[in-house]
Amino acid sequence: MKKICVDDFAFKKRYTYGTIMIDIDTHRVIDVLDSRDKDRVIEWLNTYPNIKVVSRDGSRTYGAAIKASHPNAIQVTDRFHLLKNLSEAVEKYMCRLYPSRLEIPATSTTLSPEMEALYNTRNRRERILFARKKYKEGYTQSEIALLLHSAISTIGKYLTMSESDIPKSSSSTRESQHQREILKKKTKIEEVKSMFQRGTPVDEICRKTGHTYQTIMNYVSGNYSLVNGNYDNRRPGKLQKYEDEVVLLRSQGITYKKITEIIGKKGYTGTVDALRVFMQKEREHHKNSILHKEDNKKEYIARKWMIQLIYHKLDNIKGITSEQYEEVLKKYPIIGHIYKLLRQFYEIIFSKKCNELDQWMREAKELDICEIDSYISGLKNDINAVKNAINYNYNNGLAEGSVNKLKLIKRVMYGRQNSDSVLGVL
């Protein structure tokens, strides 16, 4: 036995771990240790003096153990983990710095009157203003009533109402609270920056303000976002795959109860209230983008679609068009640089261009992004194994597959998996 791959697995997650050893040539499990401690792994490796190649993930413990027991062995880190860790670093950066919806100049064509009515009539004031606007554009009262799904008499009241009787504009409680939080955070940041610029040591700023060292450094970095990255971020839920259909049906005047019945036949198991909350948020998002002047129209791209571009091609992302993508890169050019770095790293990994790795790390370092800097530091600490991953075809897939088999066995033991589904795997 000369070539092995090594990986850890959890007996009890966050408490006890083991190590599995696989022969790369025979694809068979050699041994399973009840520990992943360095000394125990060294002891096991010393019993096989002929080992020449070891494939592993980025674990420093395994790297140190292999170096101590077989200093001349070729260590190969796993390419999948190299790509995964870089992608996760970029994702963390985007979630930290950018809001859940990125504002760009409008690229889409003018909305249909039905969709415009849907988005611009979230309360009575906006319904009144919409009706008066359409009447000035030449729409009849009957046509406006159809757009708003209201009685003609109600539209007549809207049109004859005096300006003083139109309800005042008011923001939602949630939005008002968000704006107050932004002002509070801005005050904190300005206070920290003022102290830092006066030469106050960071430790003293931490003591006086109660902030951590990392928070202080984030505040003074110059690229800290006042808007919480999770604000307005929509979590995946029961309604997610029916959202477009809900918007379309609602624009046709179909009631929420009826819409729930329609999508319920297709698998939706949520409540009617969930539809109402969803539509309220949709109107909120479009409030400031639809009524702008034509030369100042804006639209919003969900950050989640930009994050999906880390892992997939643009053609495979349903939530963003090529025109919107170009507008995002114009307004946020650093995102374009990051995507370019990701593509270059992928090419280096799979095209055996080991000599280009050092140049890639220098270019990535110039972006001055702490998440990517941390990733590069990890590459440098394990640079030989990283370059071996580029030069050799070994990977940790055998170990990962065996760990998955162990997980299936554990689920059967704990009663969370039908044993019949395991027979075809083991």
> Which CATH number characterizes residue 13's domain?
3.30.420.10
Which pLDDT band holds residue 294 (cuts at 50, 70, 90)? very low
pTM listed for this prediction:
0.63
Residue 69 lies in a domain: yes
Find all residues with CB under 8 Å of 357, minimum gap 6, and list them.
348, 379, 386, 387, 390
pLDDT of 114 higher than 60 = yes
Do 154 and 189 belong to one domain?
no
Residue 282 has pLDDT above 80, yes or no: no
Per-residue confidence (pLDDT) for residue 352, from 0 to 100: 83
**256 and 273 in one domain?**
yes
From residue 144, alpha-carbon distances to 127, 156, 158, 212 in Å are: 10, 10, 11, 56
DSSP per-residue string spanning 57-112: -S-HHHHHHHHHH-TTSEEEE-HHHHHHHHHHHHHHHHHHHS-SEEEEE--SPPPP
Please state, in angstroms and rounded to a whole number, the distance separating the CA atoms of residues 340 and 334: 10
Tokens of 135: 């009447």
Distance, CA of 74 to CA of 132 (rounded, Å):
76
Verify that 177 and 154 share a domain, yes or no: no
Backbone angles phi, psi at 337, to 5 degrees: -65, -40
Q: Is residue 337 part of a domain?
A: no
Instruction: Give residue 230's pLDDT.
Output: 57
Percent of the chain surpassing pLDDT 90: 26
Q: What average pLDDT score do residues 245-254 get?
A: 83
Ramachandran quadrant class, 277 (left: phi over 0; alpha: psi -120 to 50; beta: rest): alpha
Residue 417, domain member (yes or no):
no
Q: Are 4 and 24 in contact (CB under 8 A)?
A: yes
Q: Which of 163, 188, 205 is the last residue of a domain?
A: 163
Angle at which helices 243-251 and 272-290 cross, to 10°: 80
- Residue 158: exposure state from Cβ atoms within 10 A (0-12, 13-18, ≥19): buried
> Are the C-beta atoms of residues 98 and 229 closer than 8 Å to each other?
yes
Closest listed residue to residue 320, CA positions, set 342, 336, 302: 302
How many residues does this entry show for the chain?
Answer: 426
422 vs 426: CA distance, rounded Å: 6
Q: What is the total count of domains within the chain? A: 4
- Degrees to nearest 5, angle at CA 158 with 153 and 160: 95
Instruction: Give the Cα separation of 392 and 389 in Å (integer).
Output: 5
Q: Report yes or no on 328 lying in a domain.
A: no
Query: In which residue are the tokens 């440098």 written?
Result: 380
Give the pLDDT score at 68: 92
Indicate whether 157 and 176 sit together in one domain: no
Q: Is residue 336 part of a domain?
A: no
In a domain, 311, yes or no: no
Of 2-16, 38-52, 168-182, 388-402, minimum mean pLDDT range: 168-182
pLDDT, averaged across the chain: 83
Comparison of pLDDT for 239 and 335, the residue scoring more: 335
Note whether 134 and 69 are same-domain residues: no
Window from 296-310, 339-353, 357-371 with minimum mean pLDDT: 296-310
Give me the pLDDT at residue 149, please.
82
pLDDT at res. 425: 46
3-state class of 114 per DSSP? helix
DSSP class of residue 419? T
Question: In angstroms, how far is CA 57 from the centroid of its own chain?
Answer: 23
Q: Is residue 319 part of a domain?
A: no
> For the segment 121-133, what is each residue's pLDDT rounded down to a tens digit?
767 888 888 889 8
- For residues 11 and 63, membership in a common domain is answered with yes
Looking at the fold, whether 64 and 45 belong to one and the same domain comes out as: yes
What is the domain extent for residue 196? 171-219
- How far from 73 is each of 27, 47, 64, 68, 98, CA to CA, in Å? 19, 14, 12, 10, 44
Kindly state whether residue 33 falls inside one of the protein's structural domains.
Answer: yes
